[in-house]
Chains A and B, each alone.
Chain A
Amino acid sequence: MSYVDLQVTTNYTFLRGASFPHEMVAAAKIMGHETVAITDRNTLAGIVKAYDAAKQANVKLVTGCRLDLMSGESLLCYPQDRAAYSRLVRLLTVGKRRAEKGQCHLTYEDVVEYGEGQFFIALGDYANDALRGLLQKLRSDFRGRSYMALTRRFRPNEIQRLSDLATLAAACCVQTVATNDVLYHTPDRRMLQDVITCIRLGRTIDALGHEREWSADRFFKPSAEMARLFKMHPEAVERTAEIAARCTFSLDQLKYQYPDENLFPGLTAQEGLERETWKGAAVRYPNGIPAKAEDKVKHELKIIAQLEYAPYFLTVWRIVQYARSIGILCQGRGSAANSAVCYCLGITEINPMHRTLLFERFVSASRNEPPDIDVDFEHERREEVIQWIYKAYGRERAALTATVIHYRSRRAVREVAKALGLPEDTAAVLAKSVWGWSEAGIPESQARNLGLDPTDYRLKLLLQLSQEITGFPRHLSQHPGGFVITQERLDDLVPIENATMEDRTVIEWDKDDIELLHMMKVDVLGLGMLGCLRRAFDLLSAHKGLDYTVDTLPKEDPAVYDMLCEADSIGVFQVESRAQMSMLPRLRPRNLGDLVIEVAIVRPGPIQGDMVHPYLRRREGKEKPHYYKDELKEVLKNTLGIPLFQEQAMQIAIVAAKFTANEADQLRRAMATFRNDGNLNVFGEKFIRGMVENGYPEDFAKRCFSQIEGFGTYGFPESHAASFALLVYASAYIKCRHPEVFLCAILNAQPMGFYAPAQLIRDAIDHDVTVLPVDINASRWDCVLEWQAQDVFAVRLGFRMVPGAANEIMAKIPCPETPYQNIEDLWRRTGAPVAQLEKLAEADAFASLGYSRREALWIVKSLSDKPLPLFMAADQAEGFDRPEVVEERVTLRALAAAGEVVEDYATMAFSLRAHPLSFLRGELTRQRWKSMAELRRLKDGDRVRIAGLVLVRQRPGTASGIVFITLEDETGVGNLVVWSTIFDKYRSVIMTSDVLACVGRVQREGEIIHVVADSLYCLNDMLAGVSKDGADIEIKQRDTYGSLTVDPSKMRFHSHDFH
């Protein structure tokens, strides 16, 4: 009989196991084992991954778990059947719900309570009284289902130790089982295992001492070797297979059931769905439903009935209904969302008649994939929906899915360096040099560039081990909004634990796991733009009497598209980024379909697949669409023969590379899941070979596959793009037709989007919106519209724009019946703390009372937070204001105009007065620095000298070391491109300048102008000069120890930077 490893700890026992579940399964298979068990500590987090791998490898998986009890005892536990599995899950849930996140508090009594149908193996290395006690308890509670582990440790007196253990077991009438206590799949992982022990214990490897795992022989061995190692205890080896054979449970047996919504008494879910769909259709088509639409709805309903998905659609419908009922704006997206049924149900606003997407493409039996609908809600109100779901379905039936947080390079470097005892600064330097998220590890050349010696042994180890640990799961986190809802108890299927966030419960499995088990998930996501749009609709209704929704906005307004074609899109959903803005004038969208492409094209997939330029050429008519074969024309005709969407890539795999539906499914999963093994490469070869054999050019095949790899980094299907395109149009429409409403709404929805309020305000002013400053007698917390003339509104900035202002304090200020007379009046009437009044003074909010910024601050500083003296309260009762302080009048030196602007920038990051650079213009012109307006008149290739205030410094991870800098002056913004060699040379200038000057070359791409920098200069001193008031003696700040001499005038401008 062959041996079965019954004690295998994967890296889902975080910082203990040193191999992935799939590696474990594969290694067991290589060793010739037909069966393997996975026993992570107090968790089933890795079990689905192991199950999937076992299924692929045709290995039987014994589902198990190691239970570490609070008393210090440890047991391996294997559910015998489905019922026992549920009990194990329940047991873990009980332990987890009573502990903090990531912990599990279990007692032996709990084990007894849920122990029916489980096999138990007691763990213990020495035949001592503690083990004897445990064995006796197990024997009396579980009789023949209790065992004791025998494990080789390769220590002295091993034969004696094992024989003592066997004797003890016999005395307790418990049988012995050989285990190998596997921690990693191959011996190569030994070093990594030591390192993760260090990380777990917070020690360095030099100080790890005897905490290092005892035996380092913790990998799979062939049955013959196990038989040899246990030749004194052959029965213990044989018993492994016996136990494995008796564990008949497999995750196959989990039967997931959608919640049977039961919303319509007397009707089945399908009947209910049909009724609601037709009801909705009547609303959508008040003039009668067109025959084509009717056919489509009927067709979809038939497929839904066939796949029994009706309850799922009803669940989503119910959630959307609830959100609408309390006034939360929401919109569905995702594969099944863009269907006629969802349109009728009001889940989406995408009229399916306008698209030719096939419903089957999203919901199909052969694709073996549950339907997927994500619903976006207003970001700040999403929690209300989440809590409603918990309440409506109960915590035993609804929980968020987990997200596995993996080691990325940066963290891997930092933690491994610490474990290896390398100086913190070496680690910091290396970690910092990893831009963004990367799985690639740090190459030696990079280390050398950082001034580190790559031949240093510890550094070598760091590079090697940090690369090895990259991709390891580190902990479980909650998915941003993926809900699993079940009909039966969810804690019969999967353990549930508390999330770090209050009032949230999370299952142990991530979205891949639940997808694999065909469990249904509804994504309840937050989207800032929906909050912005809801505010805009409210403002339109209140001030202009226009009642719009996303659905009822005037459609396909040419003015809106004109605006977009000019890349005038600051603040517009999705298309406001620099990359999108440079695409807009080239793509020149004229309808919603174009917007769908616009949203999807600026993504890693099409970019990596080099699909962007061919598409643009064909669109501009410079090149004819070419489909290679007719079979592809069907797939690619909407995108002129160029695959741009994830769905198309999948179709190509099936149609052109001749993947089976199952293979395509695996490909999709490999694509979507982050894995550091070469899984995708296997598909790559097959994909390219398939297409070539099928008569496609190899180059095209390769590009298609690069694109698929790109989707892996950030998948973006057409179904999502379509929903987003609607929001692009909606936000662009409001910006175009009601710019003041747009500004007001987007400022109140901050933080969101790509731009800071300063840029949004400036953009609005450029669009002739009047923006009024924060004012103590006019502002409210939110920004509001102020009527100025018939249909003319100005935006009054709210207290929310004042940095450091507290909502609960500021809420007491607005709109008194009689305006505040002076600062003391305000202070007395609102009781606002002095610190908050200082913020208002610094924001220049008392200007309308006749106080300058400095005067206001001087007065505010004289006030105190102590309660009013009694007599003062009495005075107040009599309507007499006794001044708080009587003191000499002080005349403060007034700030010059430029000084006020600089102060505006320092406190608010923008100024409504003027741009700071306007004060420098004379000097700039003298020094031959050009303005942004002048830049726009230059030709491609012209030399240019340009200067501006630094708004943003960006270093995109994909752009291999290029830095983008956005400069601004009183005439507009301009963009610099700094190549990495130039960046390295001017690094300190770039990073420390508020006013930056650049000598470079103009690069024009249609409407988009970049300046490619050759050299850069810091003009901060010029700025310091204008903001000076009076005859300040310039005293050079010197380097000295301590913060005492830091010049308080050194107030940095706010730029958004990448560090």
Chain B
Amino acid sequence: MEARLRRLSPEANAALVDKPIVIANLEDQHRIVLAVNAAAAADGITPGLALAHARAVQPNVVALPAQPLDDARALERLAVWCLRYSPLVSACAPDSIWIDATGATHLLGGETKMLETIQGAMAGHGLTARVAMAASPGAAWALAHFCPHAVTVSSAPADLNPLPVMALRISLATGRSLWRVGLKTIADLRHVPRATLPRRFGKDLLLRLDQALGQAPESIEAVLPPAAKRKRLTFAEPIGTADDLKRTIALLAPPLCAELEKSQEGARKLDLLFFRTDNRVETIRLALARPSRNSAHFIKLLSDKVETVDPGFGIDAAVLTAWRTEPLFPHQIDADRGVDGIGDISDLVDSLANQVGARNVYCIASHASDIPERVMQPADPANHPPASWSTNLPRPVRLFSPPEPIEVMAMMPDHPPARFTWRGESRLITHADGPERVFGEWWQDIREVAEVRDYFRVEDTQGERFWLYRDSRLTTENTHRWYVHGVFA
């Protein structure tokens, strides 16, 4: 729950901090509340309620859509983080993590201390966690979910007896059925002859009961540590010159690329860290338009940035990490130098971007708009959608931004001008086409509600062709403003 809030932008997060928030999911055409925050709980909203009902209770409730996939991923990340406590950790969707603490407890000062440490660490992540330790994963799950204490250490299966049947990880429907016949706790269930249960409540119930009591084995699926590729160099003597740094780069990049090649991967993000003798770290960070494991390319890009590194009193270690990688197969490397499209010039793009700034290297995407200056949008060269514009609307090759005001002689209501003066030069118009009427995008800005532009394609006596328009909004002097917006080829 809290993990989700952290995914929102800081501003959004701040705006929501005291609001009642629920996470709702669509089930059978109804949005059902899955989870609530403290403010919503205080208003009496509980999971399982229809969102419509929740709104009747508290009309200001903010409903966020459930994102089970993202949550599962976040849980997985958290599980990876928990590897620090034990090598065997498993994420159990939607809200639990198992840590196999066999032989690990003494490291953290005993069982209770370990659980408290974990709880504190989770709080540090901004998460409210309840932690329990028991002899089986099922029992630990049950206690963590249903024991009133935040930290529980259980020694005997009998500790489970007072817990409700829902602690057995059974479906809500099964839970309801048990409740209806008066079987409400695990103790109730243990009193009933085992043989009577499966035909009434399904096979899973006994399995879950046995797993909780440690009478049936349960295998947990462990998460593995992420395999970030990295190469490290330590220097006997601190280094400092630009040439030294470049040499270091030349030494680090090839083995990293070799490793990437082994795993058929390419790097998208590279970090080069220089550890200074004074315990500070200098960083060169690179983002690549396409995955790559071309060491010459890496060396060039990194070396170009060596001037930004301040070696201080010397550098005694360097680490090059490919911290984001993507699969890259050999056939992808040389292919794609197609005739159409950009082809594989990503290294050029990377290099230019590192020179003039990533923002200043772009492709052009088309945007469906009637307003001429809005039809082009800068796009990422690595991944840009095909651009196309209507060809039957003649358009200039250069467009002034902003349009330049002109003085004209034109007849109302929609005749082309006979003459216009621009940058001090008066031009007599010989040919004109128009008007092409363009209406403002009223939903963008209130000023565009009344905006109507009448565009004219005009040619003067010298054959120079301009794109003029009249803004139909009247000025305070009760006249119209005219502009030249572009020049035709």
Direct interface between A and B, CB < 8 A: yes
Give CA–CA (A992, B47) in the complex, Å: 13
Within 8 A of A (CB), among B84-121: 94-95
Interface residues of A in 240-286 (CB under 8 A from B): none
State in angstroms the CA–CA spacing of A952 and B476 once bound together. Answer: 61
Kindly list 20 other residue pairs between chains A and B, CB separation below 8 angstroms, not including A157-B433, A433-B59: A154-B454, A157-B392, A157-B394, A420-B443, A425-B62, A842-B180, A861-B200, A892-B183, A1035-B163, A1039-B36, A1039-B37, A1039-B41, A1039-B46, A1040-B1, A1041-B35, A1043-B32, A1045-B47, A1046-B48, A1046-B166, A1059-B52
| Docked pose: A864 CA to B185 CA in angstroms | 26
* Complex contact B192–A1041 (CB within 8 A): no
Q: Assess the A1041–B48 pair: CB atoms within 8 A.
A: no
Q: Within 8 Å CB of B175, what residues of A? A: 1048
Question: Which of B230-238, B306-314, B434-442 lies at the binding interface?
Answer: B434-442
Kindly list chain A residues whose C-beta atoms are within 8 Å of the C-beta of B1: 1039-1041
Contact A864 B34 (CB under 8 A): no
Question: In whole angstroms, how far apart are the Cα atoms of A429 and B38 in the complex?
Answer: 21
In the complex, A457 has a CB within 8 A of chain B: yes
In the A-B complex, the 4 residue pairs with the closest CB atoms: A209-B368, A1059-B56, A154-B437, A1033-B162
Q: Is B370 an interface residue (CB 8 A)?
A: yes
Known pairs A432-B59, A1048-B172; A1040 contacts B181 (CB<8 A): no
Is B436 within 8 A of A156, CB to CB?
yes
Closest Cβ of chain B to A253, distance in Å, is: 41
Q: Which residues of chain B have C-beta atoms less than 8 A from A987's C-beta? A: 57-59
B53 contacts chain A at the CB level, 8 A cutoff: yes
Task: Point out residues on A near B: beta carbons under 8 Å.
Answer: 154-159, 190-191, 194, 205-206, 208-210, 212, 215-217, 420, 425, 428-429, 432-433, 450-451, 457-458, 461, 842, 854, 857-858, 861-862, 864, 885, 887-888, 890, 892-893, 895, 987-989, 991-992, 1018, 1029, 1032-1033, 1035-1050, 1057-1059
Chain A residues with Cβ below 8 Å from B177 are 861
Considering only residues 403-434 of chain B, those with a C-beta below 8 Å from chain A are 433-434
> In the complex where A991-B53, A1041-B71 touch, is A1033 in contact with B185 (Cβ < 8 A)?
yes
Chain B 426-483 residues near chain A, CB threshold 8 A: 433-437, 439, 442-443, 445-446, 449, 452, 454-455, 457
Nearest chain B CB to A654's CB is how many angstroms away?
47
Q: Name the A residues within 8 Å of B81 (CB-CB).
A: none
* B293 contacts partner chain A, Cβ-Cβ < 8 Å: no
B449 touches A1048 (CB 8 A): no
Say yes or no: A216 contacts B437, CB within 8 Å.
Answer: yes
List the A residue with the shortest CB-CB distance to B201.
Answer: A861
Would you call A1043 and B172 a contact (CB within 8 A)?
yes
Are the CB atoms of B164 and A1047 closer together than 8 Å? yes
**Contact between chains at B196 and A862 (CB < 8 Å):** yes
Pick the contact of B95 from A858, A888, A988, A1040 — CB < 8 Å? A1040
Q: Does B126 contact A (CB under 8 A)?
A: no
Closest B residue to A209 by beta carbon equals: B368
Residues of chain A with a CB closer than 8 A to B200's CB:
858, 861-862
Q: Report chain A residues within 8 Å CB of B212.
A: none
Of the listed residues A154, A854, A1036, the one surrounded by the most CB atoms of chain B closer than 10 A to its CB is: A154
User: Interface readout for B166-200 with A: 1 if CB under 8 Å, 0 if not?
Assistant: 10010010011111111111001000110110011
CA distance A842 to B180 in the complex (A): 8
On chain B, the residues within 8 Å of A1033 by CB distance are 162-163, 185
Which residues from A are CB-within-8-Å of B52? 1059
Cβ–Cβ contact B43 & A988, under 8 A: yes
- B148: chain A residues within 8 A (beta carbon): 1035-1036
Q: Distance in Å from the Cβ of A417 to the closest Cβ of chain B?
A: 12
Chain B interface residue bracket vs A: 35 or more
A1059 touches B53 (CB 8 A): yes
Q: Is the interface of A mostly helix, strand, loop or mixed?
A: loop
Which A residue sits closest to B434, measured CB to CB? A156
Q: Is B272 an interface residue (CB 8 A)?
A: no
Q: A861-B177, A988-B44 are in contact. Are A209 and B369 (CB under 8 A)?
A: yes
Question: Main SS of chain B's interface residues?
Answer: mixed
Contacts of A1050 in B (CB 8 A): 46, 48
Using an 8 Å CB-CB cutoff, how does the interface string of B20-61 with A read, 1 for contact, 0 for none?
000100000000101111100101111110001101111110
For residue B235, give the distance in angstroms from its CB to the closest CB of chain A.
49
Considering the chains assembled together, what is the distance between the CA atoms of A205 and B367 in angstroms? Answer: 13
Neighbouring B residues of A428 by C-beta, 8 Å: 55, 63
Q: Which of B166, B393, B394 contacts A1047 (CB 8 A)?
A: B166
Q: Is the CB of B35 within 8 A of A1042?
A: yes
Tell me, yes or no, whether B145 is within 8 Å of chain A by CB.
Answer: yes
Q: Which of B57, B182, B201 contacts A892 (CB 8 A)?
A: B182
Q: How far is the CB of B186 from chain A (nearest CB, A)?
A: 10
CB pair B193 A991 closer than 8 Å: no
Contact A159 B433 (CB under 8 A): yes
Which residues from A are CB-within-8-Å of B362?
none
Cβ-defined contact, B442 with A888, below 8 A = no
A1044/B169 contact (C-beta < 8 A), A1032-B185, A1039-B1 known = yes
Q: Which of A212, A451, A862, A892 contacts B60 (CB 8 A)?
A: A451
Inside 8 A of B394's CB, which chain A residues have their CB?
Answer: 156-157
How many Å lie between the Cα of A209 and that of B392 in the bound state? 17
In angstroms, Cα B1 to Cα A892, docked, is 39
Q: Which residue of A lies closest to B95 (CB)?
A: A1041
**Distance to closest chain B CB from A225 (angstroms):** 8
Distance, CA A428 to CA B445, complexed state (A): 24
Q: List 21 A-B contacts (CB under 8 A).
A: A156-B434, A190-B439, A191-B442, A191-B449, A210-B368, A210-B370, A216-B452, A457-B446, A862-B199, A888-B195, A890-B196, A892-B183, A987-B59, A992-B44, A1039-B1, A1041-B23, A1043-B48, A1044-B94, A1047-B166, A1050-B48, A1059-B56
Q: Which residues of A contact B193 (CB under 8 A)?
A: 887-888, 890
With A1040-B47, A1048-B179 in contact, is A458–B437 under 8 Å at CB? no
Tell me which residues across on chain B come within 8 A of A854, comparing CB atoms.
Answer: 180-182
Which listed residue, B58, B130, B393, touches A988 by the CB 8 Å rule? B58
For residue A433, give the distance in angstroms from its CB to the closest CB of chain B: 7
A467 to chain B, nearest CB (A): 16
Residues of A within 8 A of B55 (CB): 428-429, 432, 1059
